[in-house]
Amino acid sequence: MDPKGKLIAITGGGGGIGAALARRFALAGAAHIVIADRDIAAARSVADEIGGSAQMVDVADAGALLDLVDDCSRTYGPIDIFCSNAGFLPLDPDFDDPQQTTDVIWQHAWEINVMAHVRAARAVLPSMLARGQGHLLQTVSAAGLLTMIGSSVYASTKHAAIGFAESLAIAHRDRGIGVSVLAPQAVATAMTDGKVSFGAELNGVLTADAVANAAIEGVMANRFLILPHAEVRHYMCQKAEDPDRWIAAMAKLRRRYAPDSSTSVAR
């Protein structure tokens, strides 16, 4: 979908990849961009910069996304592109025991990394389907395709998010709805500030602007899987071809960093 002249909403838009997406969509000629973030000051700063609007939204709140879509529709019209970008990255409390993360953290990650995508789809798809057009861009992570050493919760919830996105893409492909998942490895954002990433060690750190450029290109091409780090596709093939060899290689990588890598993150 061409963003020119379109109404776009972005969650987690107050910084990082979300803010970069907003700037890039603005350059592409979007009619209006709504920046949603639980940090309303950050959201307003980005909105003022691009001539958009801001709304305080905590995507962990079950009703917040429905309110966002309703408010946008009443004020600006139906949303054409919805970017589910907000995310939560908790690290394993014990690098050697990924199962020790508490149920509270698991549930919070599930609400943000999975259910926020589900609730956004529930809110925005009826109008899109009625019009026969629309696009969902979901920021996930290469951790959802591969895995992440140091955060079993992040890897698991991102895998689930991709599974849901695939279901949406299959169900609505013939009904005019595009679905894209944005799956970078390490990106220079507040989420990764001062932390070591295995992806960064292997393939470098991209800027949020570079990731946003890849995202816009993918949306315009109606591409499901958007991989800003080209190496991820190769790793996916290796994992699919020989899962046992893949696990052995990841275990070797983990040994290389243990026990001082509990600050590692994926993107």
Nearest-angstrom CA–CA distance, 40 and 243:
44
Mean pLDDT rounded to a whole number for the chain: 91
Report pTM: 0.90
Question: Residue 88: which pLDDT band, with cuts at 50, 70 and 90?
Answer: very high
pLDDT band at 253 (very low <50, low <70, confident <90, very high): confident
Tokens representing residue 109 in the block: 């990650």
What confidence tens digit (pLDDT) does each residue in 183-208 have? 998 787 765 554 445 555 566 789 99
Answer whether residue 251 shows pLDDT above 70.
Answer: yes
| pLDDT computed for residue 145 by the predictor | 96
DSSP-assigned states of every residue in 112-180: IIIIHHHHHHHHHHHHHHHHT-EEEEEE--GGGTS--TT-HHHHHHHHHHHHHHHHHHHHHGGGTEEEE
pLDDT of residue 264: 37
What's phi and psi for 194, nearest 5 deg? 75, 10
Lowest pLDDT segment from 93-97, 117-121, 197-201, 243-247: 197-201
Q: Do 28 and 83 contact (CB within 8 A), yes or no?
A: no
Residue 14 near residue 45 (C-beta atoms within 8 A): yes
SS (H, E, C) 57-117: CCCCCCCHHHHHHHHHHHHCCCCCEEEECCCCCCCCCCCCCHHHCCHHHHHHHHHHHHHHH
Model confidence pLDDT, tens digit, residues 210-237: 999 999 999 999 999 999 999 999 999 9
- Are 39 and 19 in contact, with CB atoms under 8 Å apart? no
Confidence bin at 134 (pLDDT 50/70/90): very high
Q: What is the pLDDT of residue 198?
A: 54
Q: What is the CA radius of gyration of the chain?
A: 18
User: What pLDDT is recorded for position 190?
Assistant: 63
Contact predicate 174/218, CB 8 Å: no
Angle ∠(161,56,58) on CA atoms, nearest 5: 35
**What's the pLDDT at 188?**
77
pLDDT more than 90, % of the chain: 79
Q: At what angle do helices 64-75 and 116-131 cross, to 10 degrees?
A: 30
pLDDT digits (tens, 9 = 90+) for 105-130: 999 999 999 999 999 999 999 999 99
- Tens digit of each residue's pLDDT (9 = 90 or more) over 141-173: 999 999 988 899 999 999 999 999 999 999 999
For residue 190, give the DSSP letter: G
Q: For residue 179, give Cα distances in angstroms to 43, 124, 134, 242.
A: 25, 13, 9, 29
User: To the nearest whole percent, how much of the chain has pLDDT over 70?
Assistant: 91
Which of the residues 76, 154, 235, 257 is marked catalytic?
154
pLDDT at res. 207:
92
pLDDT at residue 265 above 80? no
Domains along the chain with CATH numbers = 7-257 (3.40.50.720)
Is 154 annotated in the active site? yes
pLDDT value of position 259: 58
Residue 92, pLDDT score: 85
User: CA-to-CA distance for 184 and 25, rounded, in angstroms?
Assistant: 19
> Angle 246-248-249 (CA atoms, 0-180°, nearest 5)?
65
Left, alpha or beta for 264 (phi > 0: left; psi -120 to 50: alpha)?
beta
